[in-house]
Amino acid sequence: MADPGAREPDAGRAALPADTRFYARTGPHGLEAVERASAGRIVRAPDPKALFVSLAPLGAAGPTHVSFADSRRHAEALRATLAGAVLVGPELEEAAPPGTAVILCEHPALAWKRVAELFHPLPPLRPGIHASAVVDPAAQVDPSAEIGPLCVVGPSAEIGPRCRLGPGAIIGAGVVVGPDCRIGPSASVSHALIGARVVLHAGVRVGQAGFGLATGGEGLSTLPQLGRVLIEDDVEVGANSTIDRGALADTVIGAGSRLDNLVQIGHNVRLGRCCVIVAQAGISGSTVLGDFVVVAAQAGLTGHLSIGDRARIGAQAGVMRNVEAGADVVGSPAMPVRAFFRQVALLQKLVRGGSKPARGERTD
């Protein structure tokens, strides 16, 4: 049942998030508890004793909800909000309605994350091995780990402290999973060493053979794939993404990186720290990305490329050459943003010019 303290949205307002059928809820929490969780500072408190039951977006929030705004484009919604408290940066402090408590935050979106974890923490671990799981006698499973229904843990695999394996997860022989990792339902991991606090969502495939072929007189021959996958600390991999093991070198996913759903990482690829790879992007074998690289949705990178630190690859770009550090490229074949749009403008001009009737030509 919905929390009776939560305000129902008015007609035409957005529905409230965090349905308690799916998300655990703590509280209610006072304004000071929200302040501590946010790492911000209360600068306005019309009712210091107010209690809050959850979070909500600006357009749906009521007096018992906490909301946030992290950009000037939210200023109008902030002025109209009915939220009891808001998390904002200094530039939006004055836009909050008079009756709304204001918590000033350096990074409002990050503060929102922290407050969300206060109200809606992850379900607690249930240490132990489910009766239907199959764990090889030679595997090492920390007593604090949770091994869910129908999981398989292969010989010599290691599952670290406080890990959670969702239903049907498969951990192959020799795989090492570091502490505080979450392996989602039906995910599979082989030929891999995984660091701490890594999240693999449902259906992720790590360590399958890379796509290596040789041609000969008898047709195609699949080449051996003898490398590993190394996933460093604090990486998150979205549902149904795939990370191939290396052929001879290792495939490496750098610390703090985020891979969206349906991402393909080829063999021997190396991602630097905090890379962001968006849905349906694909990176071919032996391409190396520097730190803080962003690859947008459906972009494709051919093999053996070098992508510099903080480069940004636009959506649906086709990258066939190296990209310098800090560069923004779009299009297929990919090119610098300014060059791409100059070409688009020129093409549009030529099309418009070609559509004009010649002198003396009839248009009817």
List active site positions: 267
DSSP per residue, 82-147: --SEEEE-GGGGGGS-TTSEEEE-SSHHHHHHHHHHHHSPPPPP--EE-TT-EE-TT-EE-TT-EE
For residue 159, report the phi and psi dihedrals to the nearest 5 degrees: -115, 120
d(CA 202, CA 197): 16
Q: At what angle do helices 31-38 and 108-119 cross, to 10 degrees?
A: 120
Strand order in the sheet with 182-183: 128-129, 146-147, 164-165, 182-183, 199-200, 236-237, 258-259, 276-277, 294-295, 312-313, 328-330, 335-336
d(CA 188, CA 151): 10
d(CA 246, CA 185): 25
| Residue 114 near residue 120, CB atoms below 8 Å | no
For residue 238, report the phi and psi dihedrals to the nearest 5 degrees: -75, 170
Contacts of 229 (CB under 8 A, 6+ apart): 191, 192, 193, 206, 207, 243, 244, 245, 246, 250, 251, 252, 253
| Residue 292 near residue 273, CB atoms below 8 Å | yes
Question: Which residues are paired to 349 by β-bridges?
Answer: none
d(CA 244, CA 240): 13
Q: Map tokens 């206060």 to a residue.
A: 118
| Residue 57 near residue 47, CB atoms below 8 Å | no
